[in-house]
A and B are shown apart, each in its own frame.
Chain A
């Protein structure tokens, strides 16, 4: 076991990990932060997306030890300081962007990464950006709508619910 230290949602954390420990394992088992979901574990579904140094990364396909010193943000870091839902989270609730909720942590983290670089994306840009995030329930329309709404755009004309 080797010690790894990184910043997670603004707090410095450390733990003992093996060479093979994935970032998703470190977050879920090491830190007991189970908001990050593991769907496929083969880098296909995007449920495990977190931000590493500000960029969307599949945490099931990154080694904890490779991220020594990194700045990591997870779904647990997306709420407002008073505990209320952040803008993107609130939009997912308002526009029914989730059903079972399994894909949602990854969707919200991908959406946040998109809006950071592209504050007012087109519907097409949102759909393309979510290519690596798979949802088995919603059919995507309401996810796209929620993200467009979170970016402050009028969503009246976005695909039907």
Chain B
């Protein structure tokens, strides 16, 4: 890993100021960025740690009943929170305990790994990604593999999740990486159902509109049985072909609905 300067501001304003230089980069829990820098796939002149910023830590229920999670909150903290069981269960299955004790929700969403878990929850819940500059709807935020709506130097300060009536995340684990080979998050709200699929598409996380329509009319596993995910855009690699991933997306959706019912 090439050397860099390190700074650890204690509030958002100082972090944004430190990140205004082109050569500076934010550091969350480091569980993705540090291994990437060791491989020299990323380098920077200055790392700005966000873990010392109190206002980006913690979980609360907001005025509209949504779950508000500070951008530097660890996966372990989300896993231990009882307000949104589907989300807590997802967070408790990310990587392993040591990864969960350091990794943060902001880091995961900023990275937008095509096999990551949180993007599925954010998209299926219709979450709002709050940054130092603006609010971004999850539907506008994810823009393809490792691509997001974030501008250079913009940081995720909070994520707001509307809490569904019922929800479930099914993760088919890729055992070597412990990421999702395919993961599906199903969220049923009073008037609609949202389904987000991670790990499958070469465009990153996506909503499966056909399943959403079918499940909004009839929230049962049977409603999914007749559908099929087109395999055209699916990832194909040594862990699974495009057809296999498309099939898994459907099977995992059915299981998520059955588990949520």
Chain A interface residues (CB < 8 Å from chain B): 2, 18-20, 22, 41-43, 46, 49, 52, 55-58, 61-63, 65-66, 68, 110, 113-114, 129, 131-133
Contact = CB atoms under 8 A, between A and B. Distances in A.
Nearest to A42: B35
A57 B102 contact: yes
A46 B95 CA distance: 12
Contacts of B38: 41-42
B102 A61 contact: yes
Contact of A58 (B27, B37, B102): B102
Interface size class of chain B, counting residues whose CB lies under 8 Å from the partner chain? 20 to 34
Nearest to B74: A55
Given A63-B6, A66-B30, A132 B97 contact: yes
Contacts of A55: 76, 101
B34 interface: yes
A129 B97 contact: yes
B178 interface: yes
A22 B33 CA distance: 13
Given A43-B35, A61-B35, 18 more contacts: A19-B3, A19-B47, A20-B4, A20-B37, A22-B34, A43-B34, A55-B101, A56-B101, A58-B98, A62-B34, A63-B30, A63-B47, A63-B49, A65-B6, A66-B8, A66-B51, A113-B97, A132-B99
B30 A110 contact: no
Contacts of A19: 3-6, 47
B49 A66 contact: yes
A66 B28 CA distance: 10
B96 interface: yes
A113 to B, nearest CB: 7
Nearest to A131: B96
Nearest to B96: A132
B31 A61 contact: yes
A20 B98 contact: no
Contacts of A41: 38
Closest 3 CB pairs of A and B: A132-B96, A19-B6, A131-B96
B42 interface: no
Interface in B16-54: 27, 30-31, 34-35, 37-39, 47, 49, 51
Nearest to A130: B96
29 contacts: A18-B3, A19-B3, A19-B4, A20-B1, A20-B2, A20-B37, A42-B38, A43-B31, A52-B101, A56-B101, A57-B101, A57-B102, A58-B99, A61-B31, A61-B102, A62-B34, A63-B27, A63-B49, A66-B6, A66-B49, A110-B97, A114-B97, A129-B97, A131-B96, A131-B178, A132-B95, A132-B96, A132-B99, A132-B178
Nearest to A68: B8
A66 B27 CA distance: 10
A57 B51 CA distance: 14
Contacts of A52: 101
B190 to A, nearest CB: 34
Contacts of B27: 63, 66
B34 A61 contact: yes
Contacts of B51: 66
Nearest to A69: B52
B98 A132 contact: yes
A20 B3 contact: yes
B99 A43 contact: yes
Contact of A62 (B4, B5, B95, B102): B102
B8 A49 contact: no
A63 B27 CA distance: 10
